[in-house]
A = this chain, B = another copy of it.
Amino acid sequence: MTTLLLKNVVYQNRITDVLIRDKHFDMIQPNISLNTDVRMDCKGLKAILPAFYNGHTHAAMNLLRGYADDLPLFEWLNKYIWPMEARLSAEDIYIGAKLACLEMIRSGCVFFNDMYWHYSQSNRAAVEMGMRICNGPLILDAYNPSFQSEQELLINRFIDAISTFPETVIPSLCPHSVYSVLPETLKKISKIAEDKNMFVHIHLSETTQEVADCIKTHGCSPVAYLDSLGLLSPKTIAAHGIHLKAEDRDILSQRGVILVHMPVSNMKLSNGSFDVPAAQNAGIKIILGTDGASSNNSLDMIREMKFASLLSKHSSRKTTTLPAQEVFQYATLNSARTFGIHAGIIEPGYLADCILVNLKDVHLVPGYNLISDMVYSADSSCIDSVICNGRFLMKNGVIKEEDKIIEEAVGCGERLRSLEVETFMSAFDGTST
C-alpha cells in the first residue's frame, strides 16, 4: 500500500489537496496533512484532469513513423509498410511499443487498445511503462488458411495465460477485419469471446472497397455480416466504422458495439469521415483512438480531439457539432468505461488515473475554460505529470529511462532500413506469442 499526496492542485477551478491511496483516489479536500510515501506540491500552478485512453492503435508501428507518407494506398502498403513489417522481430516490436508508450505518456495517455503481432511484446512494454493495455492475439488467416491450426494454438495458449496477466492488462481477441479473417474463424472467435466474456477488437467498414467486397462476397454489409456470425456485442470494439448505412447503425446500436473514431488516420488515408452526429443519433457509443503511427503519424490523443471536433464541425457544416466537453469525454471517461476501467472521473473511489497540466503553459493562457483549451489549444508540452493506477508514469516532465528507449528506437530504425526487403507473408511465422 503506497500513498501519494498532491498538495495545492487545481481541481474544478479551486485549489485543494488530493490523496491517492494505493490505486484509488481517497480524499479530495484542502489541507490534508499526512505523511505519505510520495508528495508533490503543485503550488496552485497545476490542474488535475482525467488521463486519456487510446481506443485503437498499433503501438509497435511507431518504428515506421515517417518511413513512407503521401503515397498511393497500394504502393504505400506493398512497397513500404508490409515489407518493413516483415522485417520486424519480436524484439523490434517490443522496442517500437516502448517508443509508443513514451509518446502516449508524454501526451497524457495511460491506456491503449492495441492490435499487432507478438501481442505479448506490447503487453511487456505497457507493463514496464506502467500503462494499462487491452490486447490479445492478432488473427489474420484469410490470406493463408494453413495458419488456422497455429492460430488456434495461439489463442488457446493466450487463454491459458490470462490468469497470469497483471490487472492492468485486459485480454482481447483481435480478428483483423472481415476481409482478412475466414468466416469459420470469426465464428470460433465469437464463441470463445462469449464463453470467456472477452473483448473482440476488429477493424470495421474503414474503406468503401471493404464494404463493396463484403457485399459481393457475403451479400451484406460488414456490419450485417459480423452480426450474422454473432460477433457484435457490448464487448466488441470496432475501429473506424466510416462507411455505415442507417441499418448498420441500428445494428451497432442494438448490439451495444463501441465505435472507435480516428479522424487523423481517416483523413490521411483519404478514407472519408465518420458521421459523428448520425452515430450519436443512432445511440452508438463512440470513443477516440489514434490508429498506428503509419497513418497518423503520432499517438497524441490531444491532437486527436481537436481533429475529431473540427472534422465533425466541417463535415456537418455546424460550429456546434462535437463541442470540446463532449470530445474530451470520448477520449477520457467514455473510453475508460468501455474497457471496464473504473476511471475517467477524479473522485474518491475511482482508480487514480490522471494528468497534471501546467496552467502557465502558453497554450492554456489566459485560461477561461480548461477543457476548451485542452481540446483546441494544448499540445503535449502542457503535460507536467501522468499518474496511472496510483503511480507516476511521468513526474515533472521526466519519464524513467526515456533516453534509453529513444536510443534503442533510433538504433532499431537504422537497422531496419538497412535490411534487405523480405516478403510480407514471412511475418506470419507463427511465433506471435
- Contact flags (1/0) for A224-244 with B, using CB distance below 8 Å? 000000000000000000000
Query: A268 to chain B: which residues have CB within 8 Å?
Result: 309-310, 313, 319, 376
Query: A406 to chain B: which residues have CB within 8 Å?
Result: 360, 362, 365
User: Is A170 at the interface (CB under 8 A from chain B)?
Assistant: no
Query: A62 to chain B: which residues have CB within 8 Å?
Result: 365
Q: Is the CB of A69 within 8 A of B367?
A: no
User: Is A71 at the interface (CB under 8 A from chain B)?
Assistant: yes
Stretch at the interface among A175-183, A213-221, A293-301, A336-344: A293-301
Cβ-defined partner of A72 (8 Å) among B307, B316, B320, B416: B320
Q: Is the CB of B313 within 8 A of A66?
A: no
Q: Is the CB of B298 within 8 A of A367?
A: no
User: Is A149 at the interface (CB under 8 A from chain B)?
Assistant: no
Q: Is the CB of A324 within 8 A of B414?
A: no
**Assembly CA distance A324 to B65 (angstroms):** 13
Contacts known (A76-B319, A365-B406); A377 close to B293, Cβ less than 8 A? yes
Q: Is the CB of A376 within 8 A of B297?
A: yes
**Assembly CA distance A406 to B366 (angstroms):** 8
Q: Is the CB of B297 within 8 A of A362?
A: no
Query: A307 to chain B: which residues have CB within 8 Å?
Result: 307, 310
- Contacting residues of chain A (157-207) with chain B, CB-CB under 8 angstroms: none
Q: Is the CB of A267 within 8 A of B362?
A: no
- Contact flags (1/0) for A118-139 with B, using CB distance below 8 Å? 0000000000000000000000
Q: Is the CB of B69 within 8 A of A270?
A: no
Q: Is the CB of B266 within 8 A of A314?
A: yes
Query: A69 to chain B: which residues have CB within 8 Å?
Result: 323-324, 369, 372, 376
Q: Is the CB of B66 within 8 A of A377?
A: yes
User: Is A252 at the interface (CB under 8 A from chain B)?
Assistant: no
Sample of 4 more A-B contacts, CB < 8 Å, known A69-B369, A298-B377, A307-B310: A66-B367, A69-B372, A270-B319, A303-B306
